[in-house]
Amino acid sequence: MAFKMNYSFEGNAKNRPEQNLSGSGRKFTKDTLLEKTHEERQKRQEQRRKLQSAEVLQSHIRSYICRKHKKDEERQIFNQIEHLAPIEVLLRKLLFFYNPQQDKHKLFCMADKIVTNHELVIQRMDSDVSFSWLMKRYLFVCLRTLSEDGDNMNLIKSLYIFTNSAHIFEYLIRKDYYGYLGKEMESGSGHMKEIILLIEKPFKFLQESESLNDIALAEFCQKFLIPTITDRVHNNLITHLREMGFPYDRLIKYLNSGFHFQGSESLLLCVLLLEPDQYDPNFDSLRVISKLSATIHEVSSSINCYRKADSDDEFEFDETDQERQFLLDEYMSILNKYGRVKKFLNFFERHSENEQVVIDFTHLCHNLLLVYKDAVRKYFLLYKMGLNSTYLRKLWTYLNSNQSGQYQAKGSLISWREYHTYLAVFCDLFTFYTETLTDKENSDTSETFSKNDLLSMSKLLKNVARGLIEVAFPMCRSSGIPSTPEVLHLYRACLSSLRMLYMLDLRKQFCPLGFWTSEKIHIPPDLSRKNYLFRNYSSSFNGAGSDNIDVEDDEHMPPLSTIEQRSLAILAELPFLINFNTRVLLLRDLCRNSLGESNYQRLHNEIMNDNVVVIRRTHLYEDAFDKISSKSDSDLKHKVRIVFINTVGLEEVGIDGGGIFKEFINEVLKTAFDPNRGFFTLTADNTLYPNPNVHLIVDNFTDHYYFIGRLVGKAIFENILVDLPLAEFFLAKLLVDRASAHYLKSLDPVLYRNLLYLRDYNGDISDLGLDFTAVSNDLGETKITELKPGGANIPVTNWNRLEYIQRLADLKLNGQMKKQCGAFRLGLNSVVPISLLKLFSHKELQVIIGGDNQEIDLSDLSAHTLYGGEFTADHPTIVLFWKILHRFTDLQKKQLLKFVTSCSRPPLLGFKELNPQFCIQSSGTENRMPTASTCLNLLKIPIITEEETLRNKLVSAIEQQAGFELS
């Protein structure tokens, strides 16, 4: 058998075996070994920590046991020597072993002994520092034991008798002296008077130590004034402190030293309640109240948010909300006190040249303005500051000299600065100031601002308003501005003030022609068709814009661009920045499209709503009232065809294509506004307004005013001009709920001048013997009306004369005609929404109703005149007619236009929109007089070739206003 041999040329017969010394089947890396080593080290360290903790715990236990044994020994010794040892020895032992659960009786006995020997104890305290230290510790134990059960009277006596130095109070206050007393006071114990005396006592030592002054006032505020004010603090503590002479001036100086309290809603109220009756405001107190009032609006906002959240349910106050409402009522009551406001105003008059005083007053006014929407009329201080011309001039001087600091929209950047505070306050107060009786004959706003100032204001506020609207509607949502109360208030105040400046410019004309419409503002072309104006546009200010009715977005409506949204905001808030003709065309488009977005829809609606009304010419107004006033709101928007019954009872021939209805509405409104009928009366300048005494003539007068308002709305809807010279204040009341006091000039110029005299009277007004009543004569019956509750017993003085003027003007302009104007507005709104008419000022509304009062453009009239019968533009009689017309006076031109169209004013946008078109037709032979058919805008003149003859006949006809007939 052959064997196979393994040979190696290296000298080895076989391979060298490999050995693994790390153990079978396990391999550890370097990181694993390090981690394992670290864990073992942690275990050893934890073991050492447990041993140390055990030693410490054993040490404490031994110490506790040792102390317990020692205290027990001392307690036994105390029991043995209680009636023999001196007070110092007993007190030292008691303080060492005292335990509330075991030794309360000993403390009460010790307190009785100390109080009984109080004279000796006080002497020892004065001579021995160590004994004084024992007494401080004893007093702290008494303080801590007050809230526990038992007879606390000796403890209270100890606290009152032995707290006889500033250093003792410093020690106790640092040990929460006011905290313990506050708990005891709120617990309802029978020692309320004594506790209040203890709270008061540290204030007697404030002059001895500045450190006590600071710590005592700080702890007093922290424990009693800053938390939500309780009944005991309000009714007991604060009342007592005011009566006993609380160091109010020290509190004011401390609060003004830079110590700020965050989130306190009660501190301001307590500061106001603690103010002594004879205290005069100073720089410190003004600044403190200005700073602390910064949170008042948060109280109001929280209540409003709560109500809004629960608006669907029956609203009930919860406990927190009741407390906040209590605070608001208290703020209102205290800040409106006559004496307090008078002191503030006198202080301002004395220091109005001090810049810091103006700043503090501005911040105070700004804080109050944030509380309510109409805070100027709620807070008496704001009311008086709003009528203070000196203060308004100071604000304007600052704004005018710091215009570089005005708000400018740069993308999403906004930072609230001092300038914005001044601007917001000025806008609100200037608006209120201008709404009062501030206009004199041939003078600027009570000589407070010049026309140049008013022009500068208009420029500034116009730029700021445009910038705010751009910020309210940013290019992208991510750059939206948080709607803080300050920003929202500035937005509303600025826009409102700019509107007021525009209305003031209508009276004073301090802005150059075209100033308000100098900038081109884009209006969406499909605005009228899609009716965006009725929808509540949303801004980044969360509702800072229009108050329009909130309507759900139509899913088929295309979204508006940011520029279009800004344009709509301007249209809703500042419509006067848009050209008048543009707004008129928009109004007409909106009226037309309210019947349907397309011609087919409008035609369909017209066929389905064919209204034929039969009217007797002998009972024109009565039939119209019976047959139209009772129809539904939507009926009068559609076409109404009139069929007249003549005087003999026969139906007149002819189809109403619009002309007959025009004649009808003119004649009915002429009858309705006739002062002899009693619904309307005339002012001194022969303008019409509702009769305040109509209730003595007609019982259901509101139904009649509703009907007349519908007819006026129908005239606007159909572009029919009616010659109705309405009073300025009445037109204003159609657009706003309440007319401002300066409109009294258009109602009663004599009363207006008398009130101006009363306002500027330099003597003692009380000598005039006026009170808060108004005397009226209702058809021979004298009636006395109180302007405020108890007004007959309230004399008019120099202090309250502006309130008297405001209330009397409000009664004359708003109170006496409230029902009449309200019913008229409802009727008008049923045809043309008031929200659309608010696109115009009251003067522009008069133009919309009755046409423009400007000079008649004969070239425009001739270019849009039709000719009938034998007449053409080249006919000799027509050539003479235009030649004569060019030589007419303005009055004669208006008389001719009224003769033909029933309205003396030309159409708003020119004669091209006159419907039916102006037409001249021959009437035959020369011996006939010119006649007209106003329903057709048709003038009939005889064929005359002599200029003088034609002129005389035309003048005779138009001056007599005769010849109205249907041809």
**Which three-class secondary structure state does DSSP give residue 536?**
coil
d(C-alpha 611, C-alpha 591), whole Å: 18
Alpha helices (H) in 738-817, listed in sequence order: 744-747, 749-759, 801-810
Q: Cα-flanking dihedrals φ and ψ of residue 760, to 5°?
A: -95, 10
CA dist 345 to 178, 349, 846, Å?
37, 6, 42
Catalytic hit among 270, 511, 821, 935? 935
Identify whether the C-beta of residue 892 lies closer than 8 Å to the C-beta of residue 924. no
* Structure tokens given for 345: 């105003």
d(C-alpha 780, C-alpha 778), whole Å: 5
Identify whether the C-beta of residue 149 lies closer than 8 Å to the C-beta of residue 105. no
d(C-alpha 766, C-alpha 782), whole Å: 24
Q: Specify the DSSP class assigned to residue 652.
A: P
Q: Cα-flanking dihedrals φ and ψ of residue 784, to 5°?
A: -110, 125
Identify whether the C-beta of residue 464 lies closer than 8 Å to the C-beta of residue 395. no
* Structure tokens given for 380: 């008496």
CA dist 729 to 127, 707, 721, 752, 841, Å?
85, 21, 20, 13, 12
Rg of the chain in Å (alpha carbons): 44
- Helix, strand, coil percentages (3-state) for the chain, rounded to 5, are 60, 5, 35
935 included as an active-site residue: yes
Identify whether the C-beta of residue 464 lies closer than 8 Å to the C-beta of residue 494. yes
* Structure tokens given for 946: 């002599």
Question: C-alpha 359: how far from its chain's center?
Answer: 22
Q: What amino acid occupies position 350?
A: R
Q: Specify the DSSP class assigned to residue 916.
A: S
d(C-alpha 689, C-alpha 739), whole Å: 13
Identify whether the C-beta of residue 82 lies closer than 8 Å to the C-beta of residue 90. yes
Q: Look-up: residue for tokens 């603090």?
A: 233
* Structure tokens given for 216: 């005592």
Quick one: which H or E segment has residue 922?
strand 919-922
- Region for residue 783 given its phi and psi (left: phi exceeds 0; alpha: psi -120 to 50; beta: otherwise): beta
Give 201-228 as a 3 state SS string. HHHHHHHHCHHHHHHHHHHHHHHHHCCC
Identify whether the C-beta of residue 872 lies closer than 8 Å to the C-beta of residue 743. no
d(C-alpha 622, C-alpha 366), whole Å: 56
Name the pairing type of β-strands 688-690 and 680-682: antiparallel
Burial letters 263-288, b for 16+ CB under 10 A, else e: ebbbbbbbbbbbbeeeeebeebbbbb
Q: Cα-flanking dihedrals φ and ψ of residue 909, to 5°?
A: -110, 25
**Which three-class secondary structure state does DSSP give residue 169?**
helix
Q: Look-up: residue for tokens 């300066």?
A: 742
d(C-alpha 916, C-alpha 918), whole Å: 7
CA dist 565 to 79, 336, 382, 520, Å?
89, 42, 35, 15
- The residues, any chain, with a CB within 8 Å of residue 619's CB and separated by 6 or more, are none
Question: C-alpha 159: how far from its chain's center?
Answer: 52
Catalytic residues: 935
